[in-house]
């Protein structure tokens, strides 16, 4: 996506050098990129920047503190923790705040759900039979895949 933006910004520079207006530049980009064209406001913004002499097509550095907790080391710590622990317990154990832990878990490790079943207290005979079948199926899967339970993450 960033490459497409930079490509379009490069293509804005050419009409600027030919003294084309911002609206003409926007129409050219729309013709070339269709739906993927950057917005009219962004085209006008970059047209003005290049008209004022800007050469770089990359964004300026933004102020703010960079992420320091989502590091390769912390990702490995989370990956290596016992998977039967709860989310909160793992986050506390590796000394991460909840948001950083959530980011590592969902964006970096992307675990898959294996099973998630709610079991009512009182089961009918039909439900008991279905439950037995599911449990036998799960036991067979565990026999076939001994590491299956290592991929289970519990939530609290």
pLDDT (tens digit per residue) in 104-139: 877 777 666 555 555 556 777 887 788 788 888 888
Residue 86, strand partner residues: 154
If one looks up domain 2-51 in CATH, what number appears? 1.10.10
- The reported pTM is 0.42
Domain range list for the chain: 2-51
Exposure string (b/e) for 87-106, b if CB count within 10 Å is 16 or more? eeebbeebebeeebbebbbe
pLDDT bucket at 155, cuts 50 / 70 / 90 = low
Length of the chain as a residue count? 156
- State the residue for tokens 């590491």: 147
């Amino acid at each position: 996506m960033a490459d497409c933006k930079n490509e379009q910004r490069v293509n804005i520079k050419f009409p600027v050098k030919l003294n084309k207006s911002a609206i003409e530049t926007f129409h050219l980009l729309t013709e070339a990129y269709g739906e993927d064209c950057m917005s009219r406001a962004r085209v006008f913004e970059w047209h003005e920047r290049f008209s004022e002499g800007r050469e770089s097509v990359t964004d300026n550095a933004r102020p703010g503190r960079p992420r320091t907790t989502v590091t390769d080391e912390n990702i490995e710590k989370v990956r290596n923790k016992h998977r039967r622990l709860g989310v909160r317990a793992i986050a506390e154990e590796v000394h991460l705040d909840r948001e950083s832990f959530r980011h590592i878990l969902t964006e970096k490790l992307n675990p898959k759900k294996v099973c998630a079943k709610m079991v009512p207290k009182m089961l009918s005979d039909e439900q008991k039979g279905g439950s037995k079948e599911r449990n036998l199926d799960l036991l067979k899967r565990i026999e076939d895949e001994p590491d299956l339970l290592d991929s289970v993450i519990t939530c609290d």
